[in-house]
Amino acid sequence: MSSASSRTAVGLPQLRRARFAVAAVFCVHGAVTGSFATRIPWIQDHAGVSAGQLGLALAFPALGASVAMPLAGAVSHRFGARAALRGLLALWTLSLVLPAFAPNLLTLCAALFVYGATSGMSDVAMNALGVEVENRLDRSIMSGLHGMWSAGALIGSAGGTLAAHLGSDARLHHTMAALTLTVLGLIACQGVLDLRSPADEEPPPRFALPPKSALIIGAVGFCAVFAEGASLDWSAVYLRDVLDTSPGLAAASTTAFALTMAVARLAGDRIVDRFGPVRTVRVGGVLATIGGLLVVLAPHPALAMCGFALIGFGVAVVVPLAFAAAGRSGPNPSQAIAGVATITYTSGLIAPSAIGAVADATSLVVSFGLVTALALGLVAGAGVLRSAGRESVKVTQPAPAVHDPRL
């Protein structure tokens, strides 16, 4: 769907409603991820797979997402942005039930492939709508939207933790969660913008390589997601193995890192509006680099935890800004966002295993030296996120909705 197709005057109240609606969609999307992650041990036991087999199975969500995300633009072009998001989000929330019912490795891999595919397509659709609302408001909202995703993930993980503590069967837990989140998602989708491509516009190809601009933007996102994934998955191990901390303190470092990311994203829009995306990412890159150095050089757990916190603060807003920049980088926002999303998903997939491989060959300290180097790359690459391409859309007084007179 081209950005030009949606340049119709929309009133400020309608835009505010659309902003809150898409924020709710992000929260629902994150809650599915949080609900799933907390029940992975139950799913592993139910499917009867080893740790190595589980690692193989957990690669399939990213594989499914990478394959399916390029389809999101064609779906939105054919059905309109609102209907596409409604359908794709419902498929994503309902797919939560599939892994818990998988009885073996083969069915678990297939379930996780579908789970990832629906996640990726709905991810592209909701980010494209978020970018459109941001462009029309002419101020940053993407960081806050991704903060709502993090908040949803925390809510979902809290519910999953409670269910696991009570010994609940994950099939029952995920069925109830899927039905609840599907209803909430359908309600939220009623308020998003109903964008449609002109009738004479050629539909985008089902599969297409992302534009070169998206590849460059995606490289910046790659650095940020690699640092995020490495810190999230390895911070507790680092504190335990390198600095000999207690299991409780090591686990607390991971929780603190996740909270840091959520808080920074929720507060990020004001910072971006004041200083601009390029300066924000450059300063964030500096903070993340300092954080990485603290982790590598820390003689005490407290300094390492401060380092992980700085990494979280530094990289938190990069991915939302990368999606926003991709959405402004060419005539087909969905295609560009899908390209950036594919690169960042790939980064999130390889980061944990890459850290482990480097640690096996050398040490965890050297692994986080690599993370520090990639954080420094944010300083050098921040210029590609420049907002000069943002189209300023005049917000008019309340006007009838495009394609939906109920708004």
DSSP for 316-345, please give it.
TTHHHHHHHHHHTSSS-HHHHHHHHHHHHH
Dihedral pair phi/psi, residue 18, rounded to 5° = -65, -35
Dihedral pair phi/psi, residue 307, rounded to 5° = -65, -45
Please determine, for residue 229, whether its predicted confidence score (pLDDT) is greater than 80: yes
Rounded distance between C-alpha atoms, residue 179 and residue 201, angstroms: 36
Report the pLDDT value the prediction gives residue 395, as an integer from 0 to 100.
39
Report the pLDDT value the prediction gives residue 163, as an integer from 0 to 100.
87
Give the tens place of pLDDT for each residue, 55-91.
788 888 888 988 888 888 888 888 888 999 999 999 9
Name the packing angle between helices 333-361 and 105-137 (round to 10°).
Answer: 130
Rounded distance between C-alpha atoms, residue 203 and residue 275, angstroms: 37
Q: Is 11 helix (H, G, I), strand (E, B) or coil?
A: strand
Buried b (16+ CB within 10 A) or exposed e, 213-244: bbbbbbbbbbbbbbbbbbbbbbbbbbbbebbe
Helices (H), 298-401: 301-315, 318-327, 333-361, 364-381
Pick the more confident residue, 239 or 100: 100
Give the tens place of pLDDT for each residue, 295-330.
999 999 999 999 999 999 999 999 989 988 887 776
Rounded distance between C-alpha atoms, residue 163 and residue 176, angstroms: 11
Report the pLDDT value the prediction gives residue 208, as an integer from 0 to 100.
56
R_g (Cα) of the chain, nearest Å? 21
Burial of 204 (0-12, 13-18, 19+ CB in 10 A): buried
